[in-house]
Amino acid sequence: MFGVGCLVQALSLAVGFVIGALGGAAGIVLGIIVALAGLGWGSQLAVVWLCGNCKNKLASRNVKVCPTCSARLFRNRREWEAAFSAARAASGQTGRAT
């Protein structure tokens, strides 16, 4: 099924083509700009952020805790390693098996 992002991309291509066809040389340049801007905006709208634990939709990429399952969310491995090492240091663990 197609979403809002796909719709925005399709409309921007159509509008860009119409502007380019009717506007001459300046219309072609303006049509290309409109089409590229719409493609960029539509691709941002097409991204859906999901919780890796429960697969619930998240409001944005800046969410740190899932509202459904309370899982802690990290953007990249560096954030995860920093949180993990801080928690390990606070608990006194060395990280080595005994």
* pLDDT tens sequence across 12-65: 999 988 988 888 888 889 989 999 999 998 888 877 788 878 888 888 778 888
Is 75 or 17 the better-scoring residue by pLDDT? 17
- With bands split at pLDDT 50, 70 and 90, how would you rate the model's confidence at 95? low
Compute the radius of gyration of the chain from its Cα atoms: 22
Residues with Cβ within 8 Å of residue 5, at least 6 apart in sequence:
42, 43, 44, 45, 46, 47
pLDDT in tens, 76-89: 778 777 777 877 77
Would the pLDDT of 98 be above 70?
no
- In sequence order, what are the residues at sequence separation of 6 or more whose Cβ sits closer than 8 angstroms to the Cβ of residue 37? 12
- pLDDT, residue 33, reads 92
Sequence-distant (≥ 6) Cβ neighbours of residue 86 within 8 angstroms: none
